[in-house]
Structures are given as structure tokens and as C-alpha cells.
Chain A
Amino acid sequence: MAESLNVSRKEAADLLHETTRVLRETLVEKKSLSLQRLGNFRVKTLKSRSAYLPALGQKALIPPRDVVQYHPSAGLKNKLKNTLLP
């Protein structure tokens, strides 16, 4: 990253940190975001549900939670389809 942006390694590390922070903050606001060549990210909320928990050996109510979903862009998908495979 430092090379392609023409900055020092430390600067690159800082910038990466800031970038990930921005991405995280965007997602936490439940906005979807798409980066060209990489794909889309979005946050989906899973409703609370009851399920059997093996650890407790009992059914329990699982609280709602958010999950991050990632959908790779079509271009990237195709490019990496056959990488490292015979």
C-alpha cells in the first residue's frame, strides 16, 4: 500500500486504520457501501429468535443482532474463479 500511494509505511498504516474506521462507521449506521472492484458490504439485522442452545441444553431466546454481508463484485469473482486450482 505504501508503494502504490507513495507514502511511508507508517503513514500507510495510519491511513489504512482511518479507512477501516470510516468503513466501519458507515456500516454501523446501517448504510450499505460499495467499493469499486471489491464489492458491496451491507448490514443485515437478524431478528431475535428462539433456538436450542447445545451449551445450555435448553431452548433460549437469542437476541437480535446485526451481521455484515459481503457480496463480491462480478469482476472480482470472475477473476479469482480459477486461481490456484488445477
Chain B
Amino acid sequence: MTEKITLRELIEKLSRQAGITKKMSADILRTLPVIIEEGLKKDGEVKVKGLGTFRLKPVKEKTGRNPRTGARVLIPLHNKIIFIPERSFKEFINQPYRMLGYQLLEEKSEAPVDEKPVPEPPADQPEGKAAAEDSQEPVHEPVYAPTMIPPEPPEDPPPVEELHRGKKKIHWIIPVMLAIIVILSLVYYLRNCERVEDRSQETEVISQEAEVEEWEAEDEAVEPVSEEPEAEPETELDVEPEAAEKTFKTQHSTFNITEGRYLFRIASVSYGNPYLWPLIYKANQEIITDPELVIIGEEIIIPGLEGSQDRLTRNDSLKISEGYRLVYEYYLAKGDPKAEDFRKAMERYQPN
């Protein structure tokens, strides 16, 4: 369906348009991805003017199934790369449709549909054909077809058959509309519920996640402890975060670690930005030694931010940078190649 442009064509096009050598344009097309990759590694986000934003997005761990064997496997927490085209690019791509707007369904819509009713009235025979054509149309656009028939009657008495069919369609459409409205409101209600639960009752989510966690051998060793703290956090969480979390934690607070809470996820809940987790790591150095392993039942400190996650103050950045430095040192000592990424992140958060 879509034609693919070869790299050579692309290079030629670029060299022609920019007035540069082919070698140069090949170099550009080769370095661009490298630059984007570097940026993603360092900042987790790259904006290319004229195109859009490339961003890393964390995906929670989840259980998947091997499509061939049906065996359950744990898909660990990982990043995915997303691309969001910038506004001007979107508009550029959509140029062919820029004259089109939303159309309410009560009105007649789209030229080809409008034209059809005109040839209908004059002769009797074509009507059968027109009706046949009309009956095909609802297959493509079933929802608005019936609504566009009613406007006709005042002009010309339409064939009885058609009117009858129109009526039928209307009868059929009412329950469907009702059903859609009911479903929409249900979805909306459920989503609201979820949001409330997310905020106040972390434990609900945790208990669901518990199943997932069982797949991790690491956690199994620590699991027995989880029975006790289950009761505590519910009261604790209700009192504290309810008020604080709306502003995404501006003050210090504590967090009682329950099952399935990685620093990453705690940061995501507390700050609204999972990548700020080294901040928590830094504040709890005495308790947490391994950033990949937090002990269930432990109470950790969640340091507050002076600004917000979008607008970090100088002090915030400094603290995050410090946090990343600790993480970097930890992985460096372990000889883990991840260390390099954390060093870059550390540099990034350094003010100036």
C-alpha cells in the first residue's frame, strides 16, 4: 500500500534540496539517529525541531503469554520509545484534509451522499437502483445514513419503501445510542473509581500485583514479611498522601514499603515522574543499599520537592544529581555497564 523510499533516494533528495554533496547528506542521515539515541540515553527525551519528540516511556512489568506455548512469562519493567509528531508536522501531513471539520450527525454530510437524493425523484425505475445503492451505504456509514433521510420528505414524497426502511433504521438506532451512552458513562465512572483508588488505596493495587510478583524468585524470599505491613499502610496512606499527593509531594513524608514496590514505582506515585527515583534512594541510603531490592515492611523517607516534577528548582536538581551519582557509584562498583547511563543522567541534572 505504502511505497517505501530507499535510503539512496532519500540521500539524493536531501543533497539536491540542501545543495550539498551526497556524502554529506549521507553523513547527516547517519548521524541524526546517533544523536537521538545519545539524547534519549541521557535525558530520556529528544526534541527534533520540525519533526517531533522522541521519548522513553516506562512500561510496568506485567505477565504475558508466549503465543506459541501459552506459558506465562514475566515481562520485566522496561522502556519503550515513543514518537510524538509536533503540531506543525501533524498539520503538514494532514494538509489534504484541512478543509474538513467535524460534522454533527443531524446534518447531511459528505458530497457523494448529498448528490444521490437528487436523481431519485424524477423517474420511478431508477429508484429501485438508488434504493439498492442506499441500502449498501449504511454498511459503510451505518450511523448517519438514517438521519440523512428525514430531511428529504418535505421536497418530494419519497418512495414508501424507503421511508419504511428509514423508520426501521431509526427504531434500531435508538437502543444503540442508549447503549452507547450507558457504556460511556460506565467507563467514565469506572475510570473515576480507579483514580480514587490509585490515590488512596494503594494496597488494592498491590494485592493484584502480588500475583505478578510471585514470579520473581528474589521476592519470594522476602514475601513472608508482607503479611504484617499489609494492614498498616492502609491507615498510613489514607492519612498522609491524600492531601499531599494532589500537589505531588512538596513535603517530606514516609512510605511503608509493601510488596511490589520498587523505588521506581514509588517515585512514579510520589512525584509523578518515575525517573526521579534516585532522590528516594539518596534519602534512604542507610536502609537501602541495593537500588534494585527494597525490603518489604521497611519505612522509607520520601523527600519533598521544592518545585514540581516539571519545574524543578536548583536545589531539587542538585539533589537528583546527587542521587544519580550514588546510583552511578553503586553500579560502577558492581561493574555493571548501566553505570554509564546513570553518570550521564547525573550530569544532566547538575545545575548549569
8 Å CB contacts to B: which residues of A5-64? 5, 14-28, 30-39, 41-43, 48, 50, 52-53, 56, 58-64
The answer to whether B311 has its CB under 8 Å from any CB of chain A is no
Contact A61 B144 (CB under 8 A): yes
Contact A38 B262 (CB under 8 A): no
B interface, how many residues as a size bin? Answer: 35 or more
Task: List the B residue with the shortest CB-CB distance to A69.
Answer: B83
A31-B4, A60-B103 known; A80 vs B56 contact (CB < 8 Å): yes
Since A34-B7, A83-B44 are in contact, a sample of 20 more A-B pairs with Cβ atoms closer than 8 Å, ordered by chain A residue number, is A4-B34, A24-B51, A28-B95, A31-B3, A32-B2, A35-B33, A38-B37, A58-B104, A61-B102, A65-B94, A67-B93, A68-B90, A70-B54, A70-B83, A80-B56, A82-B338, A84-B44, A86-B277, A86-B292, A86-B327
**Cα–Cα, bound, A60→B144 (Å):** 9
A interface, how many residues as a size bin? Answer: 35 or more
Q: Which of B28, B34, B338 has the most CB of A within 10 A?
A: B28
**Cα–Cα, bound, A86→B92 (Å):** 40
Residues in A with CB closer than 8 Å to B169 are none
The 4 A-B residue pairs with the shortest CB-CB distance, nearest first, are A20-B50, A63-B100, A70-B83, A38-B33
Chain A binder among B13-21, B160-168, B249-257, B302-310: B13-21
Residues in B with CB closer than 8 Å to A59 are 104-105, 143, 177
Contact of B13 among A4, A26, A52 (CB under 8 A): A26
The SS class assigned to the A binding surface is mixed
A34-B4, A84-B44 known; A18 vs B18 contact (CB < 8 Å): yes
Contact A68 B41 (CB under 8 A): no
A4-B31, A30-B2 known; A84 vs B100 contact (CB < 8 Å): no
Residues in A with CB closer than 8 Å to B77 are 85
Nearest CB of A to B296, in Å: 16
The answer to whether B315 has its CB under 8 Å from any CB of chain A is no
Interface residue ranges, A against B (CB under 8 Å)? 1, 4-5, 14-28, 30-39, 41-43, 48, 50, 52-53, 56, 58-68, 70, 72, 76-77, 79-86
Contact B14 A60 (CB under 8 A): no
Contact B2 A84 (CB under 8 A): no
Contact of A85 among B79, B97, B180 (CB under 8 A): B79
Interchain Cβ contacts under 8 Å between A and B, 8 examples: A21-B50, A58-B104, A63-B100, A63-B101, A70-B83, A81-B78, A84-B341, A86-B277
The answer to whether B40 has its CB under 8 Å from any CB of chain A is yes
Contact A26 B5 (CB under 8 A): yes
8 Å CB contacts to A: which residues of B34-69? 34-37, 40-41, 44, 48-52, 54, 56, 58
Q: Which of B56, B78, B93, B291 has the most CB of A within 10 A?
A: B93
